[in-house]
Amino acid sequence: MSQTVDRALSILPLLAEGPADLGRVADRLGVHKSTALRLLRTLHEHGLVYRQSDQRYRLGARLIALAQEAMENLDIREIAHPHLVRLNESCGHTVHLAVYEESEVLYIDKVESRYPVRMYSRIGKPVAITVAAVAKLLLADLPESERRLLADKLDYPMYTPRSTPNAAAFLRELEKVRDQGWATDLGGHEESINCVGAPIRGGDGKVVAAMSVSAPNVVVTADELLTLLPLVRRTADAISGEYSGRTPVKEVAP
């Protein structure tokens, strides 16, 4: 809607790919160098980009601090965290919490496995949306039309032979997940990693977040992991209960 701001913001994902110099930024934006310079300057003043010693620009530290605050504003995270820790203490595996927002699913909390073999993932990293258990849970709750629209828009990379191959299969899987109230990912993302997940619901019954337990099958088999399902669901329900007890969004005095 605003050309200038639009251009400026387009610089951020561009720099996320790696440091770039002025000419490169100007080219990618399709504007004159002097224009790019002024946009970069403004971003710099706000700390969103940083100029390294070789004069190239990269993303700045303020961005990291802002993201931090963004996460702390998500009250579901605050409420869920102790539950996740407790679950981790009783089963020892990696526990994730994820939310859906604007066609993306992303992890907003994680408790690390206590086993030496750990899976790679990081808070903030967008989730493999077509295969992850938490993604299925979150998308399964979308209204029919939106779900269909999104499923069509997605890519279906075959991380492994067990990955969801296409939109039709994905939609079927979502139906199943919706009916049974829990989800799995059995080697659909990484050959040797399995997950079991359950949804967290707000007061109105809508899914507001999803959690999962993940473990490589060198530690436990998929069947063994599935025995944790009742515990996972109980934890998710406990979080749901506590969450819907409170007001969904904090009110600020006028």
Partner DNA sequence: ATGAGCATTGCAAGCATTGCAACACTCCAG
Partner DNA sequence: CTGGAGTGTTGCAATGCTTGCAATGCTCAT
Of the residues 31, 66, 106, 186, which one makes contact with DNA according to CB under 7 A: 31
The Cα 48–Cα 28 span in angstroms is: 18
Residue 31 partner contact from its own copies, DNA, none using kind-dependent CB cut-offs of 5 to 8 Å: DNA
Residue 252 partner contact from DNA, its own copies, none using kind-dependent CB cut-offs of 5 to 8 Å: its own copies
Q: Which parts of 37-96 interact with its own copies (CB under 8 A)?
A: 38-39, 41-43, 45-48, 50, 52-54, 56, 58-71, 73
Residue whose CB is less far from DNA, 51 or 86: 51
38-67 footprint of DNA as x/- string (CB under 7 A): xx---------------xx-----------
Site size for its own copies, by CB under 8 A?
59
Residue whose CB is less far from its own copies, 95 or 225: 95
The Cα 206–Cα 192 span in angstroms is: 32
Interacting stretch for its own copies, rule CB under 8 A, among 98-106, 146-154, 159-167, 174-182? Answer: 98-106
Residue 191 partner contact from DNA, its own copies, none using kind-dependent CB cut-offs of 5 to 8 Å: none
Binding site for its own copies (CB under 8 A): 1-2, 4-6, 8-10, 12-13, 16, 18-20, 38-39, 41-43, 45-48, 50, 52-54, 56, 58-71, 73, 99, 101-102, 104, 106, 108, 112, 122-126, 248-250, 252
